């Protein structure tokens, strides 16, 4: 009996959150922004991080707001899904390949001159991003590129 009331409360909370997500996000931004500026004035945060968050976060919130109201929302979700996946999964794949082939003490390309390693890094980066994008495209196609929220 108590479990049903808790589930109903959780469901009601998420329904309210979906309606008022922008106001909750603005409040969250204000709280984090005030905290960052206080940390900066007390000497625990650097100015670059504080200014970056203060200036970039509202732009991101506005972008998300207009994306959610756009008539091209499905296409935008598809692009975000693929590009975000390419950056994250492709980056992880690239770090693994770079460590195995260049960074480890037993790596085969460790002692090569820089003139050979830079093109190798560029080629492997592009290929790993392409592989990450392809993996996310296949995963997104399975779920019809639906957003999580």
End-to-end Cα separation, the chain, in angstroms = 28
Question: What integer best gives the mean pLDDT of the chain?
Answer: 87
pTM to 2 decimal places = 0.60
Q: What angle do CA 48, 51, 52 make, to 5 degrees?
A: 80
Q: Could you give the CA distance from residue 87 to residue 104 in angstroms, rounded to a whole number? A: 23
Q: pLDDT tens digits for 70-103?
A: 888 888 888 888 898 899 999 999 999 988 888 8
- For the chain, the domain total comes to 2
Other beta carbons within 10 angstroms of residue 89's beta carbon come to 19
Residue 2: what pLDDT?
A: 65
Q: Are residues 54 and 79 in the same domain?
A: no
**In terms of residue numbers, what domain contains 96?**
71-149
Where does a domain end: 69, 95, 113? 69
Looking at the structure, do residues 123 and 103 belong to the same domain, yes or no?
Answer: yes
**Quick one: pLDDT at residue 145?**
76
Residues 39 and 95 in one domain: no
Q: Are residues 128 and 108 in the same domain?
A: yes
Indicate the burial class of 30 (C-beta count within 10 angstroms; 0-12, 13-18, 19 or more): exposed
């Amino acid at each position: 009996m108590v479990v049903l009331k808790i589930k109903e409360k959780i469901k009601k909370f998420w329904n309210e959150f979906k309606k008022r997500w922008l106001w909750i996000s603005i409040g969250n931004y204000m709280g984090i922004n005030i905290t960052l500026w206080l940390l900066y004035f007390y000497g625990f945060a650097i100015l670059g991080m504080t200014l970056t968050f203060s200036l970039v976060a509202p732009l991101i919130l506005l972008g998300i707001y207009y994306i959610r109201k756009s008539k091209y929302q499905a296409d935008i979700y598809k692009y975000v899904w693929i590009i975000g996946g390419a950056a994250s999964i492709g980056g992880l794949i690239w770090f693994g390949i770079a460590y195995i082939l260049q960074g480890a003490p037993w790596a085969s390309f460790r002692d090569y001159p820089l003139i050979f390693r830079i093109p190798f890094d560029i080629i492997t980066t592009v290929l790993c991003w392409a592989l990450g994008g392809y993996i996310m495209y296949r995963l997104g196609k399975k779920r019809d590129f639906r957003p999580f929220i």
